[in-house]
Amino acid sequence: MSNQESKSEAIVELVGVTKVYRTGAVETHALRGMDLVVKRGEFVALWGPSGSGKSTALNLVGALDTPSGGTVKLEGRDLGELSSRALARLRRDRIGFVFQSYNLIPVLTAYENAESVMALQGVSQKEREERVMKLLADVGLAGMEHRRPHELSGGQQQRVAVARAIASRPAVVLADEPTANLDSVTSEKLLDMMARLNAEQGITFVFSTHDPRVMKYARRLVGLVDGRVDTDVVKEQGAEA
C-alpha cells in the first residue's frame, strides 16, 4: 500500500447510526442517524454540548456499546457482524483508549500499566520493555517507570494512559474528554504531546470533548447537535478554532 493510499484509508465509518437508551417507558435518543468517516492519520475532535452524542459515538466506535441501528465499521470490519470474542480481540489489538478518569490499575507501576495491553497480546518481554521505555520517555516520564498512580500527578497519570493506549500499536486512539480533570497548563502539555505523536507517527486520534483547548489542537472539528453531525470542518494548517 502506498503512503497516499494509506493516508486516505478509512479507519472509522458510521453510517446511519442510531442509539436509543431505554429506562422503563422512557426513551432517550442519543444518536439520530449519524454519518461519519475518519481516515488514517487524522486528529479529530467530536464536540458539542452535554447530550449531543459525542461520548456515545466514541463508545460505539470502541465496541464498548452496540448501536440501535445503522452500521459501525473499524478498518472496514462491520462491528455488528463480530462475535463477542472477536470484539474483545479488536478492542485489545486495534483500539487504544484514553479516559478522563485515567483508568490506571492502582497496584501497578507506570511501566506495568503501559505494558499491560501488550502482555495480553503476547508481545515478548524484550519488545515490551523496548516499547514501554521509549514511550514513557516520549511522553516525558523517563525515570518515573516504577511509580504507582498515587505517586503521580493527574497529568502524569494521563500521560501513562496515553502511553498504554499507543503501546499496542492500535489503528485508532479514542480519547473521551481526556482533559476534563486537568488544569490548563497540564492540558496544553498533554495535547501538544498527542499532536506530536499524530504528526510524527501518524497515529489516528478521535476525541470527544467540549474543551476549547482540544478544539484548538484538532485538525478536524465535527460538531454534534442532538445526535447528528451538524458541522464538519477541516482546519487549514496553522489555523486555530
> In the chain, what are the domains?
3-234 (3.40.50.300)
pLDDT, position 100: 84
Cα 10 to Cα 41, 72, 101, 159, 165: the distances in Å are: 10, 12, 29, 27, 20
pLDDT, position 220: 97
pLDDT, position 80: 95
Residue 3 pLDDT grade (very low, low, confident, very high; cuts 50, 70, 90): very low
**Average pLDDT, stretch 60-72?**
96
pLDDT, position 139: 83
CA atoms within 13 A on the CB side of 208: 22
Q: Which residue has the higher pLDDT, 138 or 114?
A: 114
Average pLDDT, the chain: 90
**Average pLDDT, stretch 79-103?**
93
**Average pLDDT, stretch 107-121?**
94
Q: Which residue has the higher pLDDT, 207 or 241?
A: 207
pLDDT, position 227: 94
**Average pLDDT, stretch 22-36?**
93
**Average pLDDT, stretch 209-221?**
93
**For residue 83, is pLDDT > 50?**
yes
Amino acid letter for position 156: Q
Residue 2 pLDDT grade (very low, low, confident, very high; cuts 50, 70, 90): very low
pLDDT, position 140: 85
pLDDT, position 180: 84
pLDDT, position 4: 42
pTM: 0.88
